[in-house]
Structure 1
Amino acid sequence: MGRVLTLEGGSPAAHYFFDHFNFEAVVRAMEGLGMIQDLNILDLARVAFHRAFPGHLPDRPGPTSVHAAMEALRAVGAADPTGIPRHKLGTAEGWLITPGEITAALAAYHQADPERRDAVAGRIDEWATWIGFLHAAGDHGGLRST
């Protein structure tokens, strides 16, 4: 199963397509370069719920309240990200990979040992294109994982 990542707020929409094999190789390489962050999804869900319904529960459960909670969950991340949360790359649930998460991942990439970066670029044909797409996404509204 591959992945499509869409530039958030891009007009016209810009997409990055990964097949299953390249996607897995890219995620492993990102992990090795310190670009991935593991977060506790249950803690994130609590934060998202409180952002969606600050100080109160929804008056009436229904499509509007569920939608608000889901959108808040898709966007929530670490207060000070150190990379892209693994779960946002791992599933195609419409996660918003924020510019802050992308910037943190790119900072880790640029701080990694140059020989390790070169080795990744030599192993993964589309690595330079992917890093360029991340730079573009970090300068805009982030990426949506679908």
Structure 2
Amino acid sequence: MGRALILEGGSPAAHMFLDHFTFESVVRAMDNLGMIQDLNILDLARVAFHRALPGRPLSQIDPGDVHTVMGDLRAVGAAEPTGIPRHKLATAESWLIISREITAALAAYQQAEPERREAVAARIDEWTAFVDFLHLAGDHAGLRSN
């Protein structure tokens, strides 16, 4: 198994597929370069619930509301991201990685020492293509991790 990264709002051809081992290497490299942000998923779930169903208490939701809440949860993130939220890379749940998160991750990448960036590119064959894909997704509506 691997991971498909699909350009949000783009044509189905705008995607990148990484096998399991390469994806794990990419995520570790991103983490080492400061491109990943840790967020409290429970806090995000509360935000998503209140966005999806404003003014409704938990006791008043029905099974049909769960789909709406999950859609909002897949998109919610930090107000001012410093990178891509770790949970959006941890599972293939169709998380929406928004352009602000991608831009923050790319900014962290650019701030990393050139030697560290070069070492990652030398170690991971798909790294340059992955960074190029992030630039493309950051210029659009983001990407989905499936």
Shorter-chain-normalised TM-score: which range? over 0.9
Aligned to 1:144: 144
Q: Cα offset for 1:57?
A: 4.0
Name the residue aligned to 1:74.
Answer: 74
Give secondary structure in 1 for the equivalent of 2:96.
Answer: strand
- What is the DSSP-based 3-state SS (H/G/I as helix, E as strand, rest coil) of the residue aligned with 1:24? helix
Counterpart secondary structure, 1:130: helix
Summarize the alignment of residues 1-146 of structure 1 with structure 2, pairs less than 5 Å apart: 1-57=1-57, 61-63=62-64, 65-146=65-146
Question: SS state of the match for residue 93, structure 1?
Answer: coil
Pick which of 96-105 and 11-20 moved more: 11-20
Once residues 25 and 76 of structure 1 are traced to their aligned partners in structure 2, the CA distance between those partners, rounded to angstroms, is: 25
Distance 2:57 2:11 in 1: 36
Could you tell me how far 1:60 is from its partner in structure 2?
5.6
Sort the Cα spacing of 1:21 and 1:12 in 2 relative to 1 into closer, same or farther, 3 A: closer
Q: How many residues align?
A: 145
SS at match of 1:140: coil
- How far apart are the structure 1 equivalents of 2:78 and 2:100? 9
For 1:120 and 1:86, the matched residues in 2 are separated by: 19
Structure 1 counterpart SS, 2:28? helix
SS in 1 for 2:17: strand
Compute the TM-score of the two structures, normalised by the length of structure 2: 0.95
Structure 1 segments, 4+ long, off by >3 Å, are 57-60
How far apart, in 1, do the equivalents of 2:31 and 2:11 lie?
30
Partner Cα distance (1:28, 1:119) in 2 = 13
Secondary structure of 2:16 counterpart: strand
CA RMSD, Structure 1 to Structure 2 (Å): 1.3
State the secondary structure of the residue aligned to 2:27. helix
CA distance in 2, matches of 1:125, 1:137: 20
AA aligned opposite 2:95: W
Shift of 1:139: 0.4
Q: Following TM superposition, by how much is the alpha carbon of 1:72 offset from its aligned partner in structure 2, in angstroms?
A: 0.6
CA–CA separation in structure 2 for the residues paired with 1:23 and 1:95: 15
CA distance in 2 between counterparts of 1:94 and 1:100 reads 17
In the TM superposition, residue 14 of structure 1 has moved relative to its aligned partner by 1.2
AA at the equivalent of 2:63: G
What secondary structure does 1:6 align onto?
A: strand
Whole-Å Cα distance in 1 between the matches of residues 10 and 92 of structure 2? 19
